[in-house]
Protein backbone atom coordinates (compact mmCIF):
# COMPACT_ATOMS: atom_id res chain seq x y z
CA UNK A 1 0.00 0.00 0.00
CA UNK A 2 2.86 2.36 0.83
CA UNK A 3 4.52 1.71 -2.52
CA UNK A 4 1.28 2.25 -4.39
CA UNK A 5 0.67 5.50 -2.48
CA UNK A 6 4.19 6.70 -3.27
CA UNK A 7 3.70 5.92 -6.97
CA UNK A 8 0.59 8.12 -6.93
CA UNK A 9 2.31 10.86 -4.91
CA UNK A 10 0.08 10.70 -1.85
CA UNK A 11 0.04 9.36 1.69
CA UNK A 12 -0.99 5.81 2.48
CA UNK A 13 -4.16 7.16 4.10
CA UNK A 14 -5.00 9.20 1.00
CA UNK A 15 -4.41 6.14 -1.18
CA UNK A 16 -6.76 4.03 0.94
CA UNK A 17 -9.40 6.76 0.79
CA UNK A 18 -9.10 6.91 -3.00
CA UNK A 19 -9.50 3.14 -3.28
CA UNK A 20 -12.58 3.19 -1.05
CA UNK A 21 -14.14 6.11 -2.94
CA UNK A 22 -13.70 4.25 -6.22
CA UNK A 23 -15.19 1.08 -4.73
CA UNK A 24 -18.47 2.74 -3.70
CA UNK A 25 -20.80 3.63 -6.59
CA UNK A 26 -21.81 7.29 -6.79
CA UNK A 27 -25.48 6.41 -7.18
CA UNK A 28 -25.56 4.34 -4.00
CA UNK A 29 -28.65 4.26 -1.84
CA UNK A 30 -28.40 6.62 1.09
CA UNK A 31 -30.58 5.20 3.84
CA UNK A 32 -31.47 8.57 5.39
CA UNK A 33 -32.59 9.98 2.05
CA UNK A 34 -34.60 6.83 1.31
CA UNK A 35 -36.35 6.95 4.69
CA UNK A 36 -37.14 10.65 4.31
CA UNK A 37 -38.63 10.03 0.86
CA UNK A 38 -40.67 7.08 2.10
CA UNK A 39 -42.05 8.97 5.09
CA UNK A 40 -42.94 11.87 2.80
CA UNK A 41 -44.82 9.58 0.42
CA UNK A 42 -46.67 8.03 3.35
CA UNK A 43 -47.54 11.43 4.77
CA UNK A 44 -45.81 10.85 8.11
CA UNK A 45 -45.26 13.92 10.26
CA UNK A 46 -42.93 14.81 13.12
CA UNK A 47 -45.84 14.10 15.47
CA UNK A 48 -46.04 10.55 14.12
CA UNK A 49 -42.37 10.03 14.90
CA UNK A 50 -42.84 11.44 18.40
CA UNK A 51 -45.43 8.69 18.99
CA UNK A 52 -42.95 6.09 17.72
CA UNK A 53 -40.36 7.39 20.18
CA UNK A 54 -42.85 7.18 23.05
CA UNK A 55 -43.87 3.56 22.40
CA UNK A 56 -40.59 2.01 21.28
CA UNK A 57 -38.63 -0.25 23.59
CA UNK A 58 -35.77 1.81 25.00
CA UNK A 59 -34.00 -1.13 26.63
CA UNK A 60 -30.50 -1.72 25.26
CA UNK A 61 -30.29 -4.41 22.61
CA UNK A 62 -28.78 -7.74 23.56
CA UNK A 63 -25.30 -8.10 22.07
CA UNK A 64 -24.86 -10.71 19.35
CA UNK A 65 -23.11 -13.93 20.25
CA UNK A 66 -20.86 -15.70 17.78
CA UNK A 67 -20.52 -19.06 19.49
- Categorize the per-residue pLDDT at 26 as very low, low, confident or very high, splitting at 50, 70 and 90: confident
What's the pLDDT score for residue 60?
92
Section 32-48 average pLDDT: 92
What's the pLDDT score for residue 52?
87
pTM of the model: 0.41
One DSSP character per residue, the chain reads -HHHHHHTTS-HHHHHHHHHHHHS-TTPPPHHHHHHHHHHHHT--HHHHHHHHHHS--SPPPPP---
Amino acid sequence: MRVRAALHGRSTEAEVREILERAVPEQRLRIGDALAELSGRLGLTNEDFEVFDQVRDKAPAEPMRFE
